């Protein structure tokens, strides 16, 4: 099975193709000074299909070959308007795009869910975090 990193690289690469979008993979650097919004903080993970959807290709060996990839995108801005602007850039970069992962056949990326914008003051300055989740399915090519 192709590594989760290859799947992460495919999704993160689509986001990083937008030169005006600052992308952090799993952690915002703790440099001094701390990075200022706007940016998107992305957590990538995979999960096995939930059994409610039968994939196009099923392994007759019983091996787990189908992977659902999820990207949790924290769209961070100085205020709700800025956070929504980042969410729009993320949507433009990901929605309906078919990622490329070597040796895998990928479905187009779909919007999965979102959460209401939330104000966060843990770093001292207030900022707005809007969460958008995107995902796609892959199986051996």
- CATH at residue 17: 3.30.2000.30
| Range(s) of the domain holding residue 57 | 4-140
Bridge partners for 69 per DSSP: 46, 136
pTM above 0.85, yes or no: yes
Tell me how many domains the chain contains. Answer: 1
SS3 content of the chain, % helix, strand, coil (to 5): 20, 35, 45
Q: What is the pLDDT along the chain (141 residues), one digit of tens a residue?
A: 468 899 999 999 999 999 999 999 999 888 877 788 999 999 999 876 654 444 445 555 555 678 899 999 999 999 999 999 999 999 999 999 999 999 999 999 999 999 988 887 666 678 999 999 999 999 888
CB-neighbour burial class of residue 107 (10 A; exposed 0-12, middle 13-18, buried 19+): middle
């Amino acid at each position: 099975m192709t590594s989760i990193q290859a799947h992460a690289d495919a999704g993160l690469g689509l986001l990083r193709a937008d030169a005006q979008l600052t992308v952090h993979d799993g952690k915002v650097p703790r440099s001094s000074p701390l990075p200022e919004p706007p940016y998107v903080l992305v957590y990538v993970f995979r999960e096995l299909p939930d059994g409610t959807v039968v994939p196009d290709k099923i392994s007759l060996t019983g091996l787990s070959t189908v992977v659902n990839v999820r990207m949790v995108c924290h769209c961070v801005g100085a205020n709700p308007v800025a956070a929504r602007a980042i969410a729009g850039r993320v949507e433009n970069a990901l929605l309906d795009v078919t990622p490329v992962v070597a040796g895998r056949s990928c479905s187009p990326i779909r919007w999965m869910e979102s959460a209401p914008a939330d104000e966060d003051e843990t770093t001292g300055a207030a900022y707005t975090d809007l969460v958008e989740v995107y995902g796609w399915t892959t199986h051996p090519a």
